[in-house]
Structure 1
């Protein structure tokens, strides 16, 4: 019996070390290498059939307009420059709201969304949430903050049938490159996240215009693009 227990322990240890090593091989290179694709892109390609046409053009951190980066941070994760992958206060509030209303609202940080979009399937389960937390932790430990945001801005889905990333979104919705976006257009794009299929920034609804104005006002309250200073590369 003891021999069996030792053998099981040994195999569990080997499997655990292999999992950790494989995870690091998947995450750590993102510090320098752009991801080839993401699980969300693959899923859209698989389900989209002939209608799917990938529109994606990678922008480096230096090519991303700071007002666009700030708009997305303001909309999706205002504590991004400060936290280490998880917004504990928002998670607690989400759990409390679920207890009151029976619904779980989103509390994912940008780092969590990068982990989920790159590596995991859609849908909700405790297994997926556990893996999401694991990959988020690895991202925060091995990849600089500005690089995590750069990846997010290049893999986020921003329209139907293959529109991924800020550059493709700017061209698809406003017929201009990302470097020619004005702050209000960036705010409209940020307002569509994380549900790009429901909204069209180029034909903004009253709700979207209200949301974009809120994002602009929040940016002023945060202090403008200076709010991103802690994540800028040295």
Structure 2
């Protein structure tokens, strides 16, 4: 089956095979695509995945075998929704983000806009969360395993927030105070936590150990937690981070070695 979407925009990001449009629900329903997971309703964003792009001319995108990832929401036919159109390969990040956001305790910590204000209780933007999962596409996890993986991931995230309260909800004052001394709640840190989970999960570990985030480490004359701003491994001076977001894989390898030695 081939289908052409009109008035399409392309997201500006590392992977340029992610497209979106905004349309009324009635028009979206008229497409009549099959539904991959009919027991889940897409409440805020409607996800469509496809096999391959046939053509992209101006703002018209033709794809092969489009499918709704989730059941369409109930609502007025005039209600407008963002439609995110992703390749089959890209379905994994979108699925994981959607499932995590169904967990209210975590969802309240994610900013759906482009930026987080200085007086926010949020941990990261939804775009940053999606980017985290995009880094794991090379693991090639079968689609049939997605539901169990995300179910276990939610349990893991819940256990992290239970053990380390700073990763859960904090007031604006508490969040600011914590961030003065640590980046343990940043998107780079969450990349490490989630990658650690996925690597443990795909090896078939029945019990997924939580990383020892409060374990004190010693480096030369310094003692503290890995994500402390004054960790000499991570900062140059005055708490400025030595690495950028593109180097988070390297940060993970260093962090992973540290928790192995804990």
TM-score by structure 1 length? 0.31
The structure whose RCO (Cα within 8 Å, separation 6+) is larger is 1
TM-score by structure 2 length? 0.28
Q: Larger strand proportion, structure 1 or 2?
A: 2
Higher CA-based Rg = 2
